[in-house]
Amino acid sequence: GQQLNQSPQSMFIQEGEDVSMNCTSSSIFNTWLWYKQDPGEGPVLLIALYKAGELTSNGRLTAQFGITRKDSFLNISASIPSDVGIYFCAGSKTSYDKVIFGPGTSLSVIP
């Protein structure tokens, strides 16, 4: 079945550093979503992307819909301790297909 791959699987960074992570698919998607999950809580939708090449920001977070339609990227600038958590990408092939989630990237921020 369809799978999404996220890299890196985990990362440890110093507070203040910028972070980059990506998500790739073997299929073309028309929607990419990025969520963050804090420990013991449900995921929160951060950014939604609907058009190839689209670049969308949400505060210090910026996500891009790859032009191949098979990947997406999330960047976090000037990381802070509350950025700690698991970041999931998700995508769907059409507006009516179910969303598929990646395995997540675990982010740890060292003060």
Partner 1 sequence: DGGITQSPKYLFRKEGQNVTLSCEQNLNHDAMYWYRQDPGQGLRLIYYSQIVNDFQKGDIAEGYSVSREKKESFPLTVTSAQKNPTAFYLCASSIDLVSGLNQPQHFGDGTRLSIL
Edge-first strand order for the sheet with 71-76 is 4-7, 19-25, 71-76, 61-65, 55-58
Q: How far is the CB of 35 from partner 1 (least distance, A)?
A: 8
Determine, following the binding rule CB under 8 A, whether residue 26 of this chain makes contact with partner 1: no
Determine, following the binding rule CB under 8 A, whether residue 41 of this chain makes contact with partner 1: yes
* Candidate ranges 14-22, 53-61, 68-76, 89-97; the one touching partner 1 (CB under 8 A): 89-97
Nearer to partner 1, 44 or 55 (CB): 44
Provide φ and ψ at 39, rounded to 5°. Answer: -55, 130
Q: Can you tell me the distance from the alpha carbon of 37 to that of 5, in angstroms, rounded to the nearest whole number?
A: 17
